[in-house]
Structure 1
Amino acid sequence: MRTLRQIAAVSGVAFTLAAASAAAHAEKLTIMVGGATKIIYLPAKLTEQLGYFKDEGLDVEILSQPAGVDAENELLAGAVQGVVGFYDHTIDLQSKGKEVQALVIFGQVPGEVEMVSTKASETLKSMADVKGKTLGVTGLGSSTSFLTQYLAQRAGVPSTQYTLLPVGADNSFIAAIKQNRIDAGMTTEPTVSQLLKTGDAKVLVDMRTLEGTRAALGGTYPASSFYVQRAWAESHKDDATKLSHAFAKTLNFIATHSAEEIAAKMPKDYYGNNKDLYVGALKASLPMFTKDGKMPADGPDTVLKVLSAFNPSVKGKHIDLAKTYSNDYVSAAVKTAAK
């Protein structure tokens, strides 16, 4: 009996040590999303819903901030390991001496839409008409801020001739339109579909498709992405590869399933009481996503061109685009999946 008890005790200790080792190995990773309910960032929550993080042996927590610039600050402070936000932040940050790298590209286009309030639409018919107007963005220094300034400048209106107002996203953006605090503003689905349904706003510039994006920005504009600090990726290659693999699987799921099937996987609070509107918004957005998470060949140059046009931090600076993204982690993940 004593021998059995000793064996049981030793086994118990071994089991406890193994469990502790496994728990230590599956260290919690926190990813901050610049507005989790935005369809442009759908892959973040969908990966969690599909169980792909767990399939990779990862313990991942998804948090949300209303604007990408807030998520970026959390990353730089070391409060989170990764961000789901716009690729353009990696270029902006490199110009400020910060090394951040996109490992997975979700969107080959911004998925952003410049909406003009129905009341202002009589006089505001293109970006050339924004002089003296108040334009809504999610946050100052956010990607919506970058894109708004570029669209206005391309239309011949310098940033000194209009006002940018941070109004967040979703319901706070809708409220800003309804309360006439902004004449126009940049937002994403499902907010776009909600405003069109109520008749409170109209589409001014549509960057949900490749055609619309090329017309507005002059090329493919990789946008929503998963990015991390380069030093973290290099010192946590296993975690970085597994995260990339999980996201790549989700992008493949999106490419091979209908909007209805994708919506069925999402939590109810993402679409509320109007699932049909959410499905419609999703259908309008599906062309934006990459199928494999890789950077489009002409993408980095277009983004650099846009930022160099007006961003004083980037203008005239040498940017090493090769350091702003990597396809290696997705490629490594695909090889792992093929085994």
Structure 2
Amino acid sequence: MQSTIKPLLRPMFQSIAAALLLTASVHAAAADKITIMVGGIEKQIYLPAKLAEQLGYLKETGLDIELLSEPAGVNAETEMLSGAAQGVVGFYDHTIDLQARGKLVQSVVQFSEAPGEVILVSKTAKNIQSPADFKGKTLGVTGLGSSTNFLTQYLAAKAGVKNSEFTTLPVGAGSTFIAAMAQGKIDAGMTTEPTISRLTSSGAASILVDLRSVKSTEAALGGAYPAACLYMPTAWVNSHKEQVQKIVTAFVKTLRYIKTHSAKEIADKMPADYYASNKQMYIDALDGSKQMFTADGVMPENGPATVLKVLNGFDKAVQGKSINLTNTYTTEFVKAVK
């Protein structure tokens, strides 16, 4: 009987073993994949993310890196905190806000030293001449808890307008932002290129506060404001240093490419749908703002202090907390790039 059962059971055991092997390989593949969430991958402020992929630099790492997009940085942050992503291409200010909430993350490569954003005023809201006029108005931001929301609240508070005296409405970016302004849902709002150029070129909006260059940012915020970066959970960085180094190297190479190539050459590398049917407008916008990107991924000196000052101006999660800025970023990986 025993000799009869064994041949009958052998195919079943072989099938189970094959299934277990397949399951193990799927889990291994999933574990090896590195997902990076981008807070609006088509935005020019996050250009290095997609450009690194287009140039083949991410593939050169030998890692399985996937770039995914969320309409706002706060959504991307949520994905990372849930474990669905290993990193976020978003604003550095989230690292400070999260530390105040008891979560340690750090910027491993700094893309920019200016936000690259502006506050646009709708052509129908002619009575808004400065942030002091925000009282009673509805202001568009990419998302509640996003960096556009942070900066809008700070500029209002700096002008003496309390957060309770105006409304912030999450409207995303690109077409959804444009639609919100066209439909009169927002009086003004903070957004990025190429949305800025699309609205100003048509006369639908005008610029109130410009944070696209280091100089104008220093005038508005009191110093350089390190913005776009790749930030990751500190624990993951410490346990995956080899992978982090490869990713950072790819992005530093991309930043060097941006500094040594024209806006047109860069635009030629980007997907056509990023142009919103007007490639020249995209090129012109990039030409005027690509100076915001760092040349080497290094955190600008005194930049973190400026960001902390801004957040202390309105963020109740940060106010009164002891923030260790040295834990919000690291230059270990960018300085190791040859």
Tell me if both proteins adopt one fold, taking TM over 0.5 as the criterion. yes
- Mapped to 1, the partners of 2:330 and 2:95 lie a distance apart of 12
Considering only CA atoms, is the larger Rg found in Structure 1 or Structure 2? Answer: 2
1:108 is aligned to 2:118: no
Matched AA of 2:294: T
Return the alpha-carbon distance in structure 2 between the equivalents of residues 39 and 212 of structure 1. Answer: 18
- Show the 5 A alignment for 1:76-115: 76-115=81-120
Kept after mapping to 2: 8 A contact 1:108/1:288: yes
Taking the aligned partners of 1:25 and 1:31, their CA distance within structure 2 comes to: 14
Q: Quote the Cα distance in structure 2 between the aligned partners of 1:91 and 1:104.
A: 15
- Map 1:222-237 to 2 at 5 A: 222-237=226-241
**CA displacement at 1:272 relative to structure 2:** 3.5
Amino acid at match of 1:287: Q
Distance 1:166 1:272, change over 3 A: closer
Quick one: distance in 1 between partners of 2:159 and 2:67? 38
Q: Distance in 1 between matches of 2:99 and 2:282?
A: 36
Q: 2:20 maps to which residue?
A: none
The reply on whether 1:44 has 2:28 as its aligned counterpart is no
Matched, 1:142 2:141: no
Q: Does 1:283 align with 2:290?
A: no
> Unaligned regions of 5+ residues in structure 2, if any?
1-24
Compute the RMSD of aligned alpha carbons. 1.3
The CA distance in 1 between the partners of 2:232 and 2:252, in whole Å, is 16
Distance 2:317 2:163 in 1: 15
SS of 1:140's partner is coil
When normalised by structure 1's length, the TM-score is 0.90
Matched, 1:325 2:329: yes
1:159-204 CA distance string (max 9 Å, x none): 1111111111100000011111000000000000000111100000
1:74 to 70, 79, 82: 79
Look up the match of 1:117.
122
Structure 1 segment 1-339 matched on structure 2, within 5 A: 27-120=32-125, 122-332=126-336, 334=337, 338=338
Cα pair 1:150 1:309 within 8 Å, conserved: yes
Identify if the C-alpha distance between structure 1 residues 190 and 51 changes in structure 2 by more than 3 Å, giving closer, same or farther. same
Per the alignment, residue 11 of structure 1 pairs with: none
Contact 1:36 1:44 in 2 (8 A): yes
CA distance in 2 between partners of 1:143 and 1:98 (Å): 17
SS of the residue aligned with 1:32?
strand
Structure 1: gaps (5+ residues): 1-19
Aligned to 1:174, what secondary structure does the other structure show? helix
Shift of 1:76: 0.5
- SS of corresponding position for 2:313: helix
- Measure the CA separation in 1 of the matches of 2:29 and 2:201: 49
Q: Would the aligned equivalents of 1:32 and 1:64 in 2 still touch at CA under 8 Å?
A: yes
Tell me which amino acid in the other structure corresponds to 1:249: K
CA–CA distance in structure 2, aligned partners of residues 64 and 30 of structure 1: 10
Give identity over the alignment, percent: 61
User: Would the aligned equivalents of 1:109 and 1:208 in 2 still touch at CA under 8 Å?
Assistant: yes
Supply the AA of the counterpart residue of 1:116: V
Separation in structure 2 between the aligned mates of residue 223 and residue 273 of structure 1, nearest angstrom:
28
The one-character-per-residue Cα deviations of 1:293-331 (angstroms, maximum 9, x if unpaired) are: 010011000000000111000001000000000000111
CA distance in 2, matches of 1:61, 1:189: 24
Give a deviation string over 1:133-181, Cα, whole Å, max 9, x none.
0000001100000000000111111111111111111000000111110
- What is the alpha-carbon distance in structure 2 between the residues aligned to residue 192 and residue 226 of structure 1? 24
Instruction: Provide the TM-score with structure 2 as the length reference.
Output: 0.90
The amino acid of 1:324's aligned partner reads T
- Show CA shifts across 1:251-288 (max 9, x none): 00000000000000001111142100110111122011
In 2, are the aligned partners of 1:40 and 1:224 still within 8 Å (CA)?
Answer: yes
SS at match of 1:113: strand
Provide the C-alpha distance between the structure 2 equivalents of 1:274 and 1:145, rounded to a whole number of angstroms: 28
Name the residue aligned to 1:8: none
Q: Give 1:92 deviation, angstroms.
A: 0.2
Matches of 2:120 and 2:294, distance apart in 1: 25
Structure 2 SS opposite 1:265 = coil
Deviation of 1:27 (Å): 2.3
Deviation at 1:115, TM superposition (A): 0.3
- Structure 1 runs, 4 residues or longer, greater than 2 Å off: 23-27
Q: Distance in 1 between matches of 2:322 and 2:218?
A: 25
